[in-house]
Amino acid sequence: MDTTNRDPAARTRLIGALAALVILWPLFQAAEVKPGVLFDPGNLKVIGNFLAGFLPPETGAEFMGYLAKATLETLAIATAGMALAFLVAVPMGYLATGAGREKATLNPVTRSLLTTLRGIPELVWALVFVRVFGLGPAAGVLALGLTYGGMLAKVYAEILESVDAAPARALRHNGAGRPLAILYGLIPQASKELASYTVYRWECAIRASVVMGFVGAGGLGQLMDQAMKMLNGGEAATILLAFMALVFAADGFSGWLRRALDTPPANRASPFGWRSGGLGLALVVSIVASFSYLEIGLKSLLTVEAVHSIGEFVAGFFPPDLSAEWLAKVGKGIWETLAISVVGTLLAAVAGLLLALPKWRAPFSFLLNTLRSVPELVWATITALAVGLGPFAGALALALHTTGVLGRLYAEALDNAPPAPGQALRLAGAPGGFAFLYGTLPGAAPQLIAYTLYRWEMNIRMAAILGFVGAGGLGQLLYFELSLFHHAQASTVIIAMLLLSIAVDQSSAWLRRKMR
């Protein structure tokens, strides 16, 4: 038998495809994927009436005043939350990293605490703090401070460990303490990367501050939640447009600021790369203005009464409910949450890749920006109307938002792929599609897979809270139990969220290592 034209990798691909089918089929079943319900006449009528209610957008003077106030509040929550996160991240990152030590030992206790802080979604923290401090921006600021503090500390520690350790070792050998060795030996090398990541996180904090408003933490999200509950589509449309404009503006400002940090200054730079203190002064002013606008003082958050209230509230969560009946319900919620994250990410990967193709990219770039600008909770509210309450609505909401994110990242990866293989195939007479599939795509595949796995890590956290608007999973369990003040049951759900997040992080990291 002639085997000269056989694909040597055909058997491996077939086995891989069958294994993927065996793994994914139960997940699609758990996510209750039923594409037919999208085209059900009754559902189409409901979603059509709902979307028609968005027109025309509300432009009344009184409402626009509320909108302006909520927009400023969202910016202030994001900025104040990032300031608090920075205060958490600096000492925690210092304790967690092995950089600047004689032996590169890590602090496992600190690393575990950071995992807990960033593993619990900020919306859960916000919901907890709303119960303690009441409705308003204080809950949002504290929630961002804890979750983003954990994220910043982890990345700060990893950045410091990745730079050349020789200057810090030289300082240590000459008698300098570890703080000074890090300050003058490592931070000057890593300052641009540290600053760039912090700016990126501020951009993410703006989106997060909107989402937290859905549980009463102030800003545009709280205004949007009120409009949606009152079925006021015109107000919801205006709020959504304002949020999209805010996200686009934050993206542009964030990009400009990162470029400014990368541009060599004309005058003498400070040890940390700031231009004559100008950016630093602007940062301090914006932080002070944010806390002042929100009428939040750090002292007011750390009073004896506040600490006592938090302590009493947290104590109510222990011991968690570990009864067999409740653990079975939590287990089902874990499986649903995992299914929502996997199905949503896979659908987004397919759609994002199609929209990132060079020939389609230009007409769909605005669509990608729009998809990622709308928060997942807003998408979940809309998809729940289209397909009903349950995990399928959550998977669709994740898919819509993540398509916008992955589409942009995939486009950059395809642009950066080595052009030679594709060009060689075209010169050999291969059609454009074959040149892309067998020339361009293999070169970009490692980066595409890495982006998809990173996004899956983030989506598992979001999948865990989409149930707050009825999209199934652990979030629906948590919201229901907290509403009934069943804190022991809620504690079990939060622990499950944390463990699931850690498991997905570890699985994603293992897969990335295997695919290198």
Mean pLDDT of the residues in the chain: 81
pLDDT of residue 335: 93
Q: What percent of the chain has pLDDT over 70?
A: 88
User: Between residues 94 and 283, which one has the greater pLDDT?
Assistant: 94
Question: Is pLDDT of 268 > 50?
Answer: no
Work out the pLDDT band at 493, boundaries 50, 70, 90.
Answer: very high
Q: Tell me what pLDDT residue 194 has.
A: 83
- The pLDDT of residue 343 is 93
* Mean pLDDT computed over 257-276: 54
pLDDT of residue 273: 45
Least confident of 10-24, 196-210, 216-230, 255-269: 255-269
* pLDDT of 411: 84
Is residue 44 pLDDT above 90, yes or no?
no
**Given a cut of 80, is residue 416 above it in pLDDT?**
no
Q: DSSP state, 58?
A: P
What integer is the mean pLDDT of 43-69? 84
Tell me the HSE value of 285 on the side-chain side, using a 13 A CA sphere: 6
CB 448 within 8 A of CB 416: no
Angle at CA of residue 366, ends 50 and 251, nearest 5°: 105
Rounded Cα distance between 274 and 254, Å, is 16
The span from the CA of 107 to the CA of 298, in Å, is 28
Coil, helix or strand at residue 269: strand
pLDDT score of 410: 87
Q: Does 56 sit behind a cis peptide bond, omega within 30 degrees of 0 on the bond before it?
A: yes
Distances (CA, A) of 406 to 23, 344, 506: 23, 12, 21
Query: Region 90-119: what's the mean pLDDT?
Result: 75
Distance CA(443)–CA(437), nearest Å, equals 10
Q: Is the pLDDT of residue 274 over 60?
A: no
Lowest average pLDDT, out of 194-203, 328-337, 491-500, goes to 194-203
Domains and CATH numbers, the chain: 22-52+320-516 (1.10.3720.10), 55-315 (1.10.3720.10)
**330 — pLDDT class (breaks 50, 70, 90):** very high
Cα atoms in the Cβ-side hemisphere of radius 13 Å centred on 205:
33
Task: Extract the tokens encoding 298.
Answer: 């750090």
pLDDT digits (tens, 9 = 90+) for 436-488: 777 777 888 888 888 888 888 889 888 888 888 888 889 888 888 888 888 88
Is there a contact between 73 and 294 (Cβ–Cβ < 8 Å)? yes
Give the whole-number percent of the chain exceeding pLDDT 90. 14
Task: Give yes or no for residue 326 having a pLDDT over 90.
Answer: yes
Q: How far apart are CA 237 and CA 58, in angstroms?
A: 7
pLDDT for res 1: 44
Compute the average pLDDT of residues 307-330. Answer: 84
Average pLDDT over residues 125-132: 82
pLDDT band (50, 70, 90) for residue 355: confident
The stretch 477-501 carries a mean pLDDT of: 88
Q: What is the pLDDT of residues 359-384, one digit of tens each?
A: 666 677 778 888 888 888 888 888 88
C-alpha torsion sign, points 291, 292, 296, 299? positive
Of residues 118 and 74, the one with the higher pLDDT is 74
- Determine the average pLDDT of the residues in 169-192: 81
Q: Where residue 348 falls among pLDDT bands split at 50, 70, 90? A: very high
Residues with Cβ within 8 Å of 339's Cβ and at least 6 positions away in sequence, in order, are 27, 28, 29, 30, 31, 391, 395
pLDDT on residue 398? 93
pLDDT at 103 > cutoff 80:
no
